[in-house]
Amino acid sequence: MVAMSGPQEPLVEVDRLAAALDDVDPPTLLDVRWRLVGAPGRDDYLAGHLPGAVFVDLDTALCGPPGAGGRHPLPDPAALQAALRAAGVRADHPVVVYDGGDGLAAARAWWTLRWAGHRSVRVLHGGYPAWVAAGLPVSTDAQSPTPGDIEVRPGGLPVLDAGQAATLAAMDDAVLLDVRAAPRYRGEAEPIDPVAGHVPGAVNLPAGEYVGPNGRFPAADVLTERFAAAGVTGARTVGAYCGSGVTAAQAVLALHLAGRTDAALYVGSWSNWVADPARPVAVGETPGR
């Protein structure tokens, strides 16, 4: 038997997952492929997925409705519990999530399950492309899993609201990371949200500096160095945000890999921050406290 339980090791490689799927009681597989724009992830799932995987939609199942809380706010706990049970997620049973390879949706799914109190959840490193590249089997059969019995208990991972994010960004013994692309942070371009710029005091660390385009992370010591360069050192409190809380969830995953399991996610992120025109906006390369 390949042990997959417990909160450690947030990533799993394809060879270990393949071995675990041969167990009598394999981990629950969730396919969370997603795009910000373009064809829905379910189309990818129907075209081919890991055997036994169940599709779960990021927008409608793992997040709440978009609005003043942001484009991907926290889900209603009861609605999340219903969606996860429908996908076969069981209490204390291992879950593995995967996406189309960039690691974004899988990281947000990982974060959401951990926030919901489910401790044994991992991200397939490299996602569906890594599985296919390894020559492992795929399926086109849609799954109808036996309903699970997970109990959603919010609070498993720390969360920031707008006020807490502002406080964190202003503290000398803390750092709030803005992991969007540098032009968005500087206020030079904003392709999605109505206002450009960043939370005053936030430090820019674009996602490409700690994860590759294929969703693969460098070694833990490399991650530690890259986060340290952005001010994540010693016991400094750390939080992260992006445009809507998806890329920043991947930052929290990377921080966990670097040993910072206390990292907080500003779930509403920039899309929530700018929903209130009274909130200040900084521009330029510096944090601008």
If DSSP states are collapsed to H, E and C, what string results for the chain? Answer: CCCCCCCCCCEECHHHHHHHCCCCCCCEEEECCCCCCCCCHHHHHHHCECCCCEECCHHHHHCCCCECCECCCCCCHHHHHHHHHHCCCCCCCCEEEECCCCCHHHHHHHHHHHHCCCCCEEEECCHHHHHHHCCCCCECCCCCCCCCCCCCCCCCCCEECHHHHHHHHHCCCEEEEECCCHHHHHCCCCCCCCCCCECCCCEECCHHHCCCCCCCCCCHHHHHHHHHHCCCCCCCEEEEECCCCCHHHHHHHHHHHCCCCCCEEECCHHHHHCCCCCCCCECCCCCCC
pLDDT at 219: 95
How many residues does this entry show for the chain?
289
The verdict on whether 242 is a catalytic residue reads yes
Q: Are residues 265 and 168 in the same domain?
A: yes
Structural domain containing residue 125: 11-133
**Same-domain check for residues 183 and 109:** no
List, for residues 108-160, the tens digit of each pLDDT value.
999 999 999 999 999 999 999 999 999 999 999 988 899 999 999 999 999 99
Same domain, 163 and 129: no
pLDDT at site 1: 37
In a domain, 147, yes or no: no
Residue 122 sits in the same domain as residue 171: no
Residue at 149 is within a domain: no
pLDDT tens-digit series, residues 56-113: 999 999 999 999 999 999 999 999 999 999 999 999 999 999 999 999 999 999 999 9
Residue 287 lies in a domain: no
Q: What's the rounded mean pLDDT across residues 213-232? A: 95
Neighbours of 224 (CB within 10 A): 18
Q: Are 99 and 55 in a shared domain?
A: yes
Would the pLDDT of 6 be above 70? no
The enclosing domain of 84 has a CATH number of 3.40.250.10
Determine contact, residues 103/128, Cβ cutoff 8 Å. Answer: no
Count how many domains the chain has. Answer: 2
pLDDT range class, residue 4, cuts 50, 70, 90: low
- In the chain, % of residues over pLDDT 90: 90
Banded pLDDT at 3 (limits 50, 70, 90)? low
Q: Are 37 and 116 within one domain? A: yes
Whole-model pTM above 0.75? yes
* Co-location of 183 and 123 in the same domain: no
pLDDT surpasses 90 at 36: no
User: Torsions phi, psi of 108, nearest 5?
Assistant: -65, -35
- Supply the pLDDT for residue 117: 97
Catalytic residue among 157, 165, 242, 275: 242
